[in-house]
Amino acid sequence: MKKFIAATLALTAFHALANDAALIEETKKTALAIPPKLLQMVQEEINKGSHDGAIAACNDKAPKMAAAASQNTGWAIRRVSLKNRNPKAVPDAWEQAVLEDFDRRRAAGESPANMEKAEIVTEGDKRTLRYMKALPTQALCLNCHGTEDKIDAKVKARLTELYPNDKATGYSEGQIRGALTVKRPL
Ligand code: HEC
């Protein structure tokens, strides 16, 4: 009997783990579809030579895409950064710790390209799946997030107008600009 109970408990734990892993996979799949779409949108505007269009893609369309994805899924999806441009893009405690860990991992030589973190956190009786995907600074990003010499004067002026407390400049290629973050209630 004891053996049977132990086996049942082990199986239940195994099923719970397998279920959690499936939930994490599903969350990742949905979240990872977003950054490439955004990147493509910004790239198209830049190719057209439209600074305003590219800024609008980041300023208007990016938050809208995250809001639409949040609405479709019922999860909270947004972007955050340790040096945020949008005053609302401030990480919470869990996100801040993960962003700091991403920076440490990068400093230790890990490529930021596929850097991510998934965890199921429990607060009281609430379980939440938390997922973050690092967004590395690419050459294209320097147009709006790079050092002073990389940002066109017109772009700089528009960014200052839109974000008087902008902290999101001075980056170089390969640094982690921020992350996509998902909070999925379970
Ligand atoms: C054309 C200008 C422009 C380019 C190019 C650009 N961004 Fe941004 N970025 C912005 C603007 C504007 C915001 C603020 C958006 C908002 O109000 O939510 C922003 C916000 C962000 C945020 C959200 C956190 C924050 O600081 O507010 C992340 C993360 C980010 N950008 C990453 C990137 C990455 C990675 C690239 C390159 C792949 C990139 N950006 C390219 C203009 C740009």
For residue 118, the CA-to-ligand 1 centroid distance in Å is 23
Instruction: Please report the pLDDT score of residue 164 as a whole number.
Output: 97
Helix or strand (DSSP H, E) at 31: helix 2-32
Q: For residue 132, give the 3-state DSSP assignment.
A: strand
Instruction: Please report the pLDDT score of residue 42 as a whole number.
Output: 81
Buried b (16+ CB within 10 A) or exposed e, 136-156: bbeeebbbbbbeeebbeeebe
Instruction: Please report the pLDDT score of residue 148 as a whole number.
Output: 92
Instruction: Please report the pLDDT score of residue 50 as a whole number.
Output: 78
Q: Which CATH number belongs to the domain containing residue 116 in this structure?
A: 3.30.450
* Residue range of the domain that includes 177: 2-185
Predicted model pTM: 0.91
Instruction: Please report the pLDDT score of residue 1 as a whole number.
Output: 66
Ligand 1 near 117 CB (within 6 A): no
User: Tokens 């049942």 appear where?
Assistant: 8
Ligand 1 near 24 CB (within 6 A): no
Q: For residue 81, give the 3-state DSSP assignment.
A: coil
For residue 21, the CA-to-ligand 1 centroid distance in Å is 31
Ligand 1 near 82 CB (within 6 A): no
For residue 126, the CA-to-ligand 1 centroid distance in Å is 32
Instruction: Please report the pLDDT score of residue 36 as a whole number.
Output: 86
pLDDT one digit per residue (tens) for the chain, 186 residues:
677 777 777 777 777 788 889 999 999 998 888 888 888 888 888 888 778 888 888 888 888 888 998 999 999 999 999 999 999 999 999 999 999 999 999 999 999 999 999 999 998 889 999 999 999 999 999 999 999 999 999 999 999 999 999 999 999 999 999 999 999 999
Domains held by the chain: number: 1
Distance between first and last Cα of the chain: 33
CA 166/CA 46 separation, integer angstroms: 21
Ligand 1 near 58 CB (within 6 A): yes
Ligand 1 near 99 CB (within 6 A): no
